[in-house]
Structure 1
Amino acid sequence: MTCVHCGKPLPEGSRRDRAYCDNKCRGLGSYYRRKAGVPPPPRWQHPALTSDNHVLRSAAAHAKQLGEANGWSPSLVRCAMDGLTVVLGECPPGKPVKLTEVRARIPRHASSLRVAEVLTELELLEDDSVLAVRSWIENRTAELPAGFASDVRAWLLVLLDGDSRAKPRSRTCAYVYFGGVRPLLENWATTRGHLREITVTDVMAGLSPLCGWQRRNAIAALRSLFRFAKKRCWRWFSSVRVSR
C-alpha cells in the first residue's frame, strides 16, 4: 500500500484503511482535492461486506449492525469480520458452524465471543462445546488407572452438569481443577490402587513442592474432589482434610 497523496509506501503493519503516510499528506491531499473540486474518495470498507459469498456478506453486515447497536469500536467490528471471513469463507452456504471450530480457527486478534454472537443471531452457530468437554473428560480420565478413573470422571461430570447438591461450574473450572490434580493422581497411582487409599500424608507430600497459583489451584481442586467423593461415593470414608 502507498500514500494516496505522495505515493510513499506505507509502513508495514499499518491499518488496512490507512490512506496517507502522515497527517501532513492527509491535510495536503484534502486541500488539493477541495481546490480541484474532486469529491473525497470512498471510505475503506471490509472486503467481507462486498464478498461474493452471500452468507459472509450478510454476516458482515449484521456484525456492523450489532456493533452500532451495542457500541462496539470500529476495530472490534473489523476483527469480528475477520473472524467471520475465516469460518464462513469456505463453509457451504447455510451450514451451521461449530463453536469449537470458531474458537480454533479464527485469528488471534478476533474475538470468538463476538463472532459467535453474530453467528447465533443468524442461526448459523452449533454449540458443540458441551459435547467437546464431555469427550475431553472421557479421554483424560481414561488415561488414569482404573481405581482412580471412575471417581474422577464422576466428579468432573458433576462439576460440569451440577446435581441436586451443587450448581454447575464452568468448563474452565473443570479444565483448571483437573489440571491441578492430575499430576498428584498420577503420582499416587504408582503406590496406591484406589483414590480412597489416599491419606493426609500423601496429600501433604504431593502439595509440598507446589507454590503460588499452582498450590492454590491444587488445594481447591483436591478439596472439591474429596468433598464430592465423601458425600457421593464413599459414605463410610473419613474425610481427607486439605489445608493451606
Structure 2
Amino acid sequence: MIMRDWRNRKPPTSCPYCHSWGPSPQTLCGGCHNWRSNHEMGQCTGCGRTVPIFKGDRYRGYCRLCRHQARLEAGDYHTPLMPYLQALSGHHQLFLANMDRALSVMRPHGNRRGQPRSKPAAVRLTLPEDEQLELFEPPARDFTRFRTKEHAEYTAPWVLYTTQIAARLSEARGWSAEVTQRTRRGLVILMSSYPGFGRLRRSEVMPLHARQLPVERVCDVLEEIGLLIDDRAAALDLWLDRALSGLASGIRSDVLIWINELRHGTPRRRPRQERTIHAAVPYVRPLLEHWSQSYDHLREVTKDDLHESIKPLTGTPRRHTILALRSLFGCLKRRKVIFRNPAARLRPGGTLDRARVPLDQAELDLAIKRAGTPTHRIILVLAAIHALRRKAICLLTLEDVDLANRRMTVNDHTRPLDHVTARAIQEYLDYRRQRWPNTANPHLLITQQTAHETQPVSLFWVGKHFRGLPATLERLRVDRHLDEALANGADPLHLAIVFGMSDTTAVRYATAARRIMEESASRLGGELEA
C-alpha cells in the first residue's frame, strides 16, 4: 500500500481565520486549528474580526493574524510584540500556511522582502554627574504587580539603552538565546519605571528571581553602565556575627579591631586573605568565650590566664592557637588598646612535619570508580597525575593547554602531557563544546553559572566531587609527589624540576620518601630473618 501525503489529497485553499494560503486536511490551517482549541471566540482589537483571540495576559484581545503581522514588523521571535500590535494600521501581509517559521529561519539576517534588516539607532545615556543626595532610604520597589501589557515601556530611552548593552554582553560572553531573552525581559521590568537618575540597589533586583529571570545577568548589564549598587552584606561579616555572638561587648570590640586590621591592613602591614581569618578565629573563640565569663575587656587578661588556657592543647591546635593569640594581642598593643602584651613571650615551636603516606590501591580504585563524568575524570587526572592544587585547577585556562604539542603550562611551568591526561582533556572539551557552544569563559573548567561569565569555578566546586572519599584531592596530590620521589631515589632536585615546587617542599617530600623506603627495607629484612 502506497502512503500519500495528506497535502495531495485536497487542493490548496485559504484559511478563513488567518487567510494563509496552502494545503490543509481540514477547513482551517494547522496553526488556526490548534489556536481555536486553546482560545475563545471574540472580537479582535486589531482587525475587528470575530475570530479566536488570545485569552492570556500577554496579548489579550488579538487574533493569530494580527500577532503574525506584528512578528513580521518586529523582525524576530525575541522582540516583545505589544508595541507592534498597538501600532497595527489594519493592513496585513498574507503568507503561506505553515511557512512563517521556516521563512524566518531561511532569512536570519533580512526582512520579509529579502533586504538587510535595519538596526535600531544606538542609544547612549549617562547618569548626571551631580546627583541629588537622598535624605532617607526609599522603600524597595515591588515588581510582583508588574503587568507587561499595562506597565511595559518598550520605547523608553533607558529600556532601549540597557537592551543594547545586554545584546553586546550576550555576544561577548556567549549567552544562550533563552538567557538573553529573559535578561531583556528583566531589564524591561526594571527600566520601564526608571526615573533617569539615581542607581538601583541589588536588593531591588533580587525579586526578579520570583519571575524565573536571570538576576545575575541583569546585574551584569547594570554594573556595565555603572547603574548598580551592591548593598549585600559581606559573607565574612555574617560569619563573624555568628562566631562572636557569645562574647562580652568589650571583648567583642577588641576582637573586631584585630579582624579589621587583618582584613584591610595598615601602612606597614599587608591585608590578609579571608581564609586566614576563617582559620584563626575558631582557635581563639573557646578562650574568648571562657574569658567573657569573668572579664569585660581583653586588657584584663594576664599571662597566667594564657598559660592556663593553652595548657591542655597539644600538637597543631596548640601551635595555631598561640600564633592567633600573638597576632591578636600584638595588634591591640600596637593600637594602644591594652597596656602590656601577655602573649609576647609565647613560643609556638617548630613546624610539625606531618606524616606523608601513599594511598592504598583500593582507595585509588574507589576514586577512579567514582569519576563517572568527563568533569570528574579531568579533575582526577589533574590531581593524581600532575599533582595540581585546587586553586591551580580552577585557574587553568584554555591557552595553558596545548593538545597539539602535548604541553600544559601551570604557574609558568611547562610540563608534558601524557596520553591519559590528553584523552581526558579532549573528552572534557568535547563535552564542554556540546553543552556550552557559545561560552566566552577562558578557563578550562566551567559550570552552568560560570559559562555566562568570565570568572573561574570555585574551590568548593572542584573539591566536592571527591568529598567523602578516602582519596581526596589533597591526598591524591601528596600521593603523586611521593610516587615520583620513590621512583627516582628521593631526589629533591628531580621533584623541583618535574612539579615546579620550591626547594624546601621538595626536600620535605624527599625526606618522607626516604623514611618510607627505610621502613620498607627494615620490614623486608625482618621477614627474611623470620
Counterpart of 1:231 in structure 2 is: 330
Q: For the aligned residues, what is the CA RMSD?
A: 5.2
Distance apart, 1:49 and its partner CA = 9.7
Counterpart of 2:227 in structure 1 is: 124
Write out aligned runs for 1:52-91 (5 A).
Answer: 52-81=155-184, 83-85=186-188, 87-91=190-194
Distance apart, 1:231 and its partner CA = 2.9
Distance apart, 1:55 and its partner CA = 1.9
Aligned match for 2:198, one of 95, 98, 114:
95
Can you list the C-alpha shifts for 1:41-82, whole angstroms capped at 9, x where unaligned?
879xxx799735432342133112201112123344345445
Counterpart of 2:209 in structure 1 is: 107
Write out aligned runs for 1:1-244 (5 A).
Answer: 6=34, 36=97, 38-40=99-101, 51-81=154-184, 83-85=186-188, 87-99=190-202, 101-102=204-205, 104-107=206-209, 112-127=215-230, 140=241, 144-163=247-266, 164-167=268-271, 169=273, 184=286, 185=288, 188-195=291-298, 197=301, 199=306, 202=309, 226-234=325-333, 236-238=341-343, 239=346
Equivalent pair of 1:49/1:60 in contact (CA under 8 Å): no
Distance apart, 1:40 and its partner CA = 2.2
How many residues end up aligned between the 2 structures?
Answer: 195
Distance apart, 1:119 and its partner CA = 1.1
Distance apart, 1:166 and its partner CA = 2.5
Distance apart, 1:148 and its partner CA = 1.0
Equivalent pair of 2:199/2:229 in contact (CA under 8 Å): yes
Determine the C-alpha separation between the residues in 1 that align with 2:175 and 2:254: 45
Equivalent pair of 1:152/1:225 in contact (CA under 8 Å): no
Equivalent pair of 1:161/1:168 in contact (CA under 8 Å): yes
- Gap regions ≥5 residues in structure 2: 1-29, 39-94, 106-147, 334-339, 353-530
1:81–1:228 Cα change, 3 Å:
farther
Structure with the higher helix share, 1 or 2: 1
Distance apart, 1:158 and its partner CA = 2.4
1:143–1:121 Cα change, 3 Å:
same
Determine the C-alpha separation between the residues in 1 that align with 2:190 and 2:322: 41
TM-score, scaled to structure 1: 0.52
Distance apart, 1:155 and its partner CA = 2.5
Distance apart, 1:201 and its partner CA = 6.1
Q: Percent same amino acid among aligned pairs?
A: 21
Equivalent pair of 1:86/1:105 in contact (CA under 8 Å): no
- Gap regions ≥5 residues in structure 1: 10-33, 206-215
- Report the AA paired with residue 189 of structure 1: S
1:165–1:6 Cα change, 3 Å:
same
